[in-house]
């Protein structure tokens, strides 16, 4: 009987990164890129905003950093070595989605 109940769940793998878990991942990024990926108004640093980029563009940038394809990059190539494909995808979607959706 229990098996009958469980059967529909088999094969339904949950998304690898929930919104809450992705927020924990993103916490590392916002220390440099600003809250929600937007540097505070008036900040003059060289760290770009992540807000306003599509998830595709964000993912492409992250993959390029990880693969060493961004010639003049400083920290991002090394940093992205610590993230796998699923984590990068989750982060790209998190920063591309409206701030109001964040936990």
65-73 CB contacts, 8 Å cutoff, 24+ apart: none
d(CA 54, CA 78): 23
By beta-carbon proximity to ligand HEC, the closer residue of 15 and 74 is 74
Which pair of tokens denotes residue 2? 């229990």
Least distance (Å) between residue 86 CB and ligand HEC: 13
By beta-carbon proximity to ligand HEC, the closer residue of 15 and 45 is 45
Least distance (Å) between residue 58 CB and ligand HEC: 5
Question: With contact defined as beta carbons under 8 Å apart, do 42 and 34 qualify?
Answer: no
Least distance (Å) between residue 11 CB and ligand HEC: 31
Residues 40-69 that bind ligand HEC (CB under 6 A): 47-48, 50, 58, 61-62
What's the CA dihedral at 81, 84, 31, 41 to 10 degrees?
100
Residues 4-23 that bind ligand HEC (CB under 6 A): none
Residues at the contact surface with ligand HEC, assessed by CB under 6 A: 28-29, 31-33, 47-48, 50, 58, 61-62, 73-76, 79, 83, 91
């Amino acid at each position: 009987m229990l098996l009958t109940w469980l059967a529909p769940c088999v094969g339904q793998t949950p998304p690898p990164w929930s919104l809450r878990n992705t927020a924990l991942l993103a916490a590392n990024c916002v220390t440099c890129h600003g809250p929600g990926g937007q540097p505070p108004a008036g900040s003059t640093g060289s760290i770009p905003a992540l807000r306003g980029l599509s998830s595709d563009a964000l993912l492409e940038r992250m993959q390029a950093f990880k693969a060493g394809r961004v010639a003049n990059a400083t920290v991002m190539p090394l940093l992205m070595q610590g993230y796998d494909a699923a984590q990068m995808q989750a982060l790209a979607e998190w920063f591309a989605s409206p701030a109001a959706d964040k936990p």
